Chains A and B, each alone.
Chain A
Amino acid sequence: MAAAARIGIAGIGLTSPLGDDLEGNWQRLLAGQGAVTRMSFDGVADIAAAPVTTDVSQVLTRLQQVGTERVSQMALGAVRKAIADAGMAAWADPERVGLYLGTGMGGAATMDAGFAALYTGGRIPPLTVPAGMVNGASAVVAIHADIRGPVLTYASACASSSVAIAEAAHALARGEIDVAVCGGVEAPLARGTVAAWQALRTLAPPDAADVSRSCRPFAADRAGLVLGEGAAFFVLRREDDLAAAPRAWLAGSAVRCDALHLTNPQVRGQVSTLRAALRASGLAPADVGYCNAHGTATVAGDPVECEALREVWGEHATALHVSSTKAAHGHLLGAGGALEAALTVMALRARVVPPTLGVAAVDPRCAGLSHVLGEARHAPDLRHAVSNSFAFGGTNVALVFSGV
């Protein structure tokens, strides 16, 4: 096998706040129809959040649902769609198929409900451990998609699914597997988890005038992040194994760590990650025309990311189109990188840059880049794009994609 086998995206599947189909997500994003709404949880001030509104349990029969929860069901739904999108039904050799799944918090809602019952004099349900364990979704996907090679779970907070995609591509390139199913899932919209995020004082309040505009990345008046939930998965293959033209190529990736602070992002680590990803892709900054930013709309995070982009892109920074699609679908935490990667692939295919919704004026500290606000922008020369994921814990990931 050639050392530099290209890795193609054969299929994409979503369970997203913007809907369950890829094209629908894309159209809704371009139409400016965000999924952020007001949600209430007992004992917690109302939050703005982006929930998945379909009945995700339908992917399993009631008997099969035993020991599973929302996080597993959303993951399985997206994986099935990704496999179907790749035109694959049964595997030639299930042991040559690997699953690389990122999730920050796994079955947090199950643990939350179990502990709540226990602490209030009730009984903790017997399947709390298997449903709540962080690799529960991986196990459910493996069982129902018959994946018998490496089945691995990556937990690096908001970079989890991007790490999983990067690792899956390496495993393919090394020849360890022939098919990689990779991506991530998160289901954080449960009372205890929401309360914990709110206690950290990072959540944006529901916008009083228009709740769908609560998440405003890069805006001068940004107010914090908005939680989302969902799953996004890819089927990756080596170029020689592709049955048809891929949706895009995963040109390269890099994973680095700030190693400085639990939560505060750092320019140094982001710059190093972006440069390493460009090197791995054999591309110069000027080759990359779009950055789907991490852009969580926190006061601290957005200026750091913009400074890192300006430093790496240098004189080309003002030509780099930048947007954060989190304004539309919220922050899917461990699944965020995968959903944003999917939308980045759609941007390459359409040669259209999706906008950051809801932003009237960019914070001067986020300036010096070609921010795409409000309306999508045609980018006929767009050939390569990068998707950033910068996590609590300091793990930074940049995934670089190339059009077909």
Chain B
Amino acid sequence: MTTLARLTDLIHDKFGVERDTIDPDAPFASYNLDSLTVAELMFEIDDAFHVTVPDSAATTVTTLRELAALIDSLPPTPKKA
């Protein structure tokens, strides 16, 4: 499953947003994810994808496709000892 598809599932499962309203190239706000919701999404992504999304992403990433690309570029978070 692609990162983009997994993200779409995550948004659907966590926030109840219908999959067919999620346009990966449109701003998050176009399917009603405001800045707080995006912050919550980034927090969930860290656990779901075992990465550490930088805080700056909350302001620099504006679409789901950009977010998927960012996640794919991040190294896995080292496991805790």
The chain A residues found within 8 Å of chain B, CB to CB, are: 61-63, 66-67, 121, 123, 125-127, 130
Q: How far is the CA of A67 from the CA of B40 in the complex (A)?
A: 9
Q: Are A123 and B40 in contact (CB under 8 A)?
A: no
Q: Is the CB of A62 within 8 A of B46?
A: no
Listed by A's residue number, 18 A-B pairs whose Cβ atoms lie within 8 Å are A61-B16, A62-B14, A62-B15, A63-B15, A63-B16, A63-B32, A63-B33, A63-B37, A66-B36, A66-B40, A121-B80, A123-B46, A125-B40, A126-B36, A126-B40, A127-B36, A127-B39, A127-B40
Q: Which of chain A's residues have a CB closer than 8 A to the CB of B15?
A: 62-63, 66
Measured between beta carbons, the chain B residues less than 8 angstroms from A121 are: 80
Check A126 against B14 for contact (C-beta < 8 Å).
Answer: no
A67 to B15, CA, bound (A): 12
Q: Which of A63, A67, A121 gathers most chain B CB within 10 Å?
A: A63
Q: A62-B14, A66-B15 are in contact. Are A126 and B37 (CB under 8 A)?
A: no
Task: Give the 6 A-B CB pairs with smallest separation, nearest first.
Answer: A62-B16, A126-B39, A63-B15, A66-B37, A67-B36, A126-B43
A-contact 0/1 string along B23-52, CB 8 Å cutoff = 000000000110011011011001000000
Q: Would you call A123 and B36 a contact (CB within 8 A)? A: no
Q: Check if A125 sits within 8 Å of B32, measured CB to CB.
A: no
Question: Distance in Å from the Cβ of A117 to the closest Cβ of chain B?
Answer: 11
Interface secondary structure of B, over-half rule = helix
Please give the distance in Å from B67's CB to the nearest CB on chain A.
15
* B10 contacts chain A at the CB level, 8 A cutoff: no
- B residues near A123, Cβ cutoff 8 Å: 43, 46
**A127 to chain B: which residues have CB within 8 Å?**
36, 39-40
Q: Is residue B17 contacting chain A, with contact meaning CB distance below 8 A?
A: yes
**Which residues of B approach A to under 8 Å, CB–CB?**
14-17, 32-33, 36-37, 39-40, 42-43, 46, 80
Q: For residue B8, give the distance in angstroms from its CB to the closest CB of chain A.
A: 15
Q: Which residues of A contact B17 (CB under 8 A)?
A: 63
Q: Which residue of A lies closest to B52 (CB)?
A: A123
**Bound CA span A66–B33, Å:** 10
Q: Are B36 and A125 in contact (CB under 8 A)?
A: no
Q: A131: nearest residue on chain B (CB-CB)? A: B36
A35 to B7: give the CA distance in the assembly, Å. Answer: 43
What is the CA–CA distance of A66 and B39 in the complex, to the nearest angstrom? 10
Residue from B33, B40, B46 whose CB has the most chain A CB atoms within 10 Å: B40
Chain A residues contacting B40 (CB-CB under 8 Å) are: 66-67, 125-127
| Bound-state Cα–Cα, A62 to B16, Å | 6
CA distance A127 to B58 in the complex (A): 13
B residues within 8 A CB of A126? 36, 39-40, 42-43
- B33's nearest neighbour on chain A, judged by CB, is A63
- Of all chain B residues, the one with the shortest Cβ separation from A125 is B43
Return A243 CB to nearest CB of chain B, in Å.
35
Distance to closest chain B CB from A110 (angstroms) = 13
Could you tell me the distance in whole angstroms from the C-beta of B14 to the nearest C-beta in chain A?
Answer: 7
Chain A residues whose CB sits within 8 angstroms of the CB of B43 once the complex forms: 123, 125-126
- Complex interface: chain A residues within 8 A of B80 (CB): 121
CA distance A130 to B43 in the complex (A): 15
Task: Give the distance to chain B from A93, nearest Cβ to Cβ, in Å.
Answer: 27
Which residues from B are CB-within-8-Å of A63?
15-17, 32-33, 37
Residues of chain A contacted by B39 (CB below 8 angstroms): 126-127
**Cβ of B14 and Cβ of A130 under 8 Å apart?**
no
Query: Residue of A at shortest CB range from B36?
Result: A67
CA of A62 to CA of B36 in the docked complex: distance in angstroms? 13
Kindly provide the distance from the CB of B15 to the nearest chain A CB, expressed in whole angstroms: 5
Taken together as a complex, chains A and B put the C-alpha atoms of A63 and B46 apart, in Å, by 20
B42 contact set on A, CB distance < 8 A: 126
Instruction: For B36, list chain A residues within 8 Å (CB).
Output: 66-67, 126-127, 130
Give the chain B neighbours of A67 by CB distance below 8 A: 36-37, 40
Give the distance in Å from the alpha carbon of A62 to the alpha carbon of B37 in the complex.
11
Question: A401 → chain B, closest Cβ, in Å?
Answer: 40
User: Which of chain A's residues has its CB closest to B39's CB?
Assistant: A126
